[in-house]
Amino acid sequence: MHLENQQGKLIIFSAPSGAGKTTLVKYLLDTDLNLSFSVSAASRPIRSGEVDGKDYYFMTVEEFRKKIEAGDFLEWEEVYKDQYYGTLKPEVDQLRHKGQNVIFDVDVVGGLNIKNIYGENALAVFVMPPNVQKLEERLRGRSTEDEESLQKRLNKALYELTFAQKFDMIIVNDDLERAREEAYQKVKSFITNSKS
């Protein structure tokens, strides 16, 4: 068996904000699929209840830009002015070399970038909200944004929905239990069928 075949697979979950990707990723991490979470980096301020190194690697805008220049990111994006998000290459490589399957909770553009890099070793899943109205309700229900920020997120979400067909599969999150089961079965099948 070649060393390459022993490397872990990548499972990428992407969606517009509020579609439920984080809920599905957290669910999958608690199953018997033995997944390791890829912690993203972010230059935004830490929110109440978040833990540095668990939810994100929080860094200053300057620190983030230095890591971009050093080529430390698989993908990164300036989502809003001076709010960068990205996936650290060393983090992913370390997990894969241990033979662990890595699950990602990333934005749509980042998800497609990772898929392009890893090809058949990655499963790219797009989580679709049942409709735009439901998406807006979920975002409003969070109560973490002012109206201007909420409108920015909604506009970005509408744009991101146009990328859905570029993913390996789409899960419509209109019924959480069904979405969980579908995600579990698809990820299990991908991991099992791609082991040699």
Strands 10-14 and 122-128, by their bridges, are: parallel
Question: What is the tens place of the pLDDT at every residue in 13-67?
Answer: 999 887 889 999 999 999 999 899 999 999 999 988 999 998 899 999 999 999 9
Mean pLDDT of 146-156: 80
The reported pLDDT for the residue numbered 60 is 96
Q: Please give the Cα distance from 2 to 92 (Å, whole number).
A: 19
Contact 18, 133 (CB under 8 A): no
**178 or 151, which is more confident?**
178
C-alpha 9/C-alpha 38 separation (Å) is 12
Domain ranges within the chain, ordered by starting residue: 7-193
Regarding the domain delimited by 7-193, which CATH topology (the fold level of the hierarchy) does it fall under? Answer: Rossmann fold (3.40.50)
Q: Burial, 2: exposed, middle or buried (Cβ in 10 Å; 0-12, 13-18, 19+)?
A: exposed
